[in-house]
Amino acid sequence: MIINFDQIYEDLKSGVEGVAKQSLQDYLSEAKTAGQAALNNMKVNLLHWAQEAENGALTKEDLEFLLQEESAFEELAALKQAGITEIRIDEFKNAIINTILGTIASFIKI
């Protein structure tokens, strides 16, 4: 089965927007911008990882580890300038990671 990465990516963009609304309502514009920038910067990696997961080369745990180490999340550091604490930024990052894992898992049984 060939994955529809375009659909996965569109769902991820919507998911990141939803996470921003839930976790950083007071900074919605900044959170959406930073979250979308991080997602855009990891798009190539996400495509590769989704393909690897579909082929059975990556487990959900592997994917979670790769996401935790993903340098694209450095985009979220810009949220500090908006006055958001490190703890809330980490919570936002973890919520995005959970959204990515859930979205990919809904398309690919990992």
Looking up tokens 């996400």 gives 46
- pLDDT at 78 (0 to 100): 86
Residue 2 has pLDDT above 80, yes or no: no
Give φ, ψ of 56 to 5 degrees: 85, 5
Q: What is the tally of structural domains in the chain? A: 1
The whole-model pTM stands at: 0.91
Is 40 exposed, middle or buried, given 0-12, 13-18 or 19+ CB atoms closer than 10 A?
A: middle
Are 110 and 59 in contact by the 8 Å Cβ rule? The answer is: yes
Residue 1 has pLDDT above 70, yes or no: no
- What residue numbers bound the domain in which 58 lies? 5-107
Mark 61-97 as b/e (b = at least 16 C-beta within 10 Å): eebeebbeebebbebbeebeeeebeeebbeebbebbb
